[in-house]
Amino acid sequence: MNPTPAASADSADLSFASLPLAPSTLANLEQLGYRQMTPIQAASLPPALAGKDLIAQAKTGSGKTAAFSLSLLARLNPRRFAVQALVLCPTRELADQVSQEIRRLARGADNIKVLTLCGGSQMRPQISSLEHGAHVVVGTPGRIMDHLQRESLDLSALDTLVLDEADRMLDMGFYDDIAFVAKACPKERQTLLFSATYPEGIASLSRAFLRDPQQITLTEQHEAGKIRQRFYEVVPEQRLAAVGQLLRHYRPVSTLAFCNTRQQCRDLLQVLRAEGFVALALHGEMEQRERDQVLIQFANRSCSVLVATDVAARGLDIDQLEAVINVDVTPDTEVHVHRIGRTGRVDQEGWAFSLVSGNQMARVRNIVTTLGQEVEWHALGELQDSSTARLLPPMVTLLILGGRKEKIRPGDVLGALTGEAGFAKEQIGKIKVTETATYVAVARNIGQDALRKLSAGTVKGRKVKVHLLSDRGG
């Protein structure tokens, strides 16, 4: 293996036009607002497009999806109706996101069919979709293995295998499933492994399934200045209340608060709600549907604070996250770096606050040693309410009972709200359609009105049942 220093990315040409990509792809990237390659893209795309196997490590939010997607799309033959690329992801949420990104990136090309295959969904519709054919399959290892065992998925024409978020897949115990899937792929293939961290298991995974891989490590974990870290010393009794103080002072729209235990999550949720914040929690033992509901409300900006443990937050990827709060600074520096890396994504700045009690100082010293830079200490006493108004999220979520099964599409809902209901497009936020439900974010001040008008009117010519998801923010 020949590690490529991150520095080489800086001096390189960062324009996508410097890559051997089709003009239609370049035009599409321009349309998507991808003006320049991110560092991991600049370092990994040239060898990936040249057909090399890769182990690429860069923090969450650095643009790894486009790095492997552009490469697999470039090798694809649209006229060949067979699965030519397979992307393995740890969770359904991530698989959905990857599929969406591949579809966006493929817009400039011929009709490329991307299929998502994950557990938790019925087998039968997946099997019939596979019978209709697909160029790219994105899925979780367990479900892909199921399809291989039933012979409903044929990988004999595969050119590219991608292991995305390989560290998390290993964390989740997918090694054997990945091995099974990799063995079902042709030997002559390109394998691209992407990971945010580099735990031991990655080396054995790559020894087993990659050929002479080029290793790309962007050790520069965070661009200077993009994530502003501040540490606050607290005594244990101040800890939970300090979260509210931080929120009232900095007023971030979306905050992810990490707790070290589930009990602490429950306690913090209670404290925040009592103080009038719109907060939700993620637990490991939540049903998928509940988890989806929480994530959708957080991602569409109708929840100010999401409280979670590291395990529950696994696989979470949120575009706009203004702040991360380490309610307890974690003993594991790598976890710390990973937590704070969720804020300050591609074009934005983010805050990372850590609450540290006297007996946790050693943890901060570890962070200082690892990052090779001093950290900024601040006093809780500096925090003041910067407004008398309650911190409320800008949106609320309407739940329409009916989803893909009822053939509802985002456009139908947007049409109903901006058409007969008379709302402006700017007042409508993200619209997420799941199998059986549709979640619509609307500006907080039109929540009740939108609820009334949607209930009284029709979506796709049909009456629908609508609820306002209660957030105690009314």
Q: List binders of ligand ADP among 333-372 (CB under 6 A).
A: 345-346
159-175 exposure pattern, b = at least 16 Cβ within 10 A, e = fewer: bbbbbbbbbbbbbbebe
Q: List binders of ligand ADP among 42-71 (CB under 6 A).
A: 60-66
Comparing CB distances to ligand ADP, the nearer of 14 and 375 is 14
Q: Work out the angle at residue 326's Cα, subtended by the Cα atoms of residues 325 and 329, and round it to the nearest 5 degrees.
A: 160
CB of 375 to ligand ADP, least distance (A): 24
Tokens matching residue 358:
């006297």
- Alpha carbon distance 34, 44 (integer Å): 16
Comparing CB distances to ligand ADP, the nearer of 65 and 197 is 65
Comparing CB distances to Mg ion, the nearer of 64 and 291 is 64
Q: Work out the angle at residue 299's Cα, subtended by the Cα atoms of residues 450 and 387, and round it to the nearest 5 degrees.
A: 80
**What does 376 bind: ligand ADP, Mg ion, none (CB cut-off 5 to 8 Å by kind)?**
none
CB of 205 to Mg ion, least distance (A): 17
CB of 164 to Mg ion, least distance (A): 6
- Alpha carbon distance 248, 461 (integer Å): 44
Site string for Mg ion, 76-105 (x = CB under 5 A): ------------------------------
- Alpha carbon distance 309, 258 (integer Å): 5
CB of 315 to ligand ADP, least distance (A): 11
Work out whether 108 is an interface residue with ligand ADP (CB under 6 A). no
Among 53, 233, 292, 317, binds ligand ADP (CB under 6 A): 317
Work out whether 22 is an interface residue with ligand ADP (CB under 6 A). no
Work out whether 83 is an interface residue with ligand ADP (CB under 6 A). no
**What does 10 bind: ligand ADP, Mg ion, none (CB cut-off 5 to 8 Å by kind)?**
none
**What does 427 bind: Mg ion, ligand ADP, none (CB cut-off 5 to 8 Å by kind)?**
none
Comparing CB distances to ligand ADP, the nearer of 63 and 393 is 63
CB of 23 to ligand ADP, least distance (A): 18
CB of 19 to ligand ADP, least distance (A): 12
244-260 exposure pattern, b = at least 16 Cβ within 10 A, e = fewer: bbbbbbbbbebbbbbbb
What is the CA 295 to chain-centroid distance, rounded? Answer: 10
- The residue ranges that bind ligand ADP (CB under 6 A) are 34, 36-38, 41, 60-66, 317, 319, 345-346
- The residue ranges that bind Mg ion (CB under 5 A) are 64
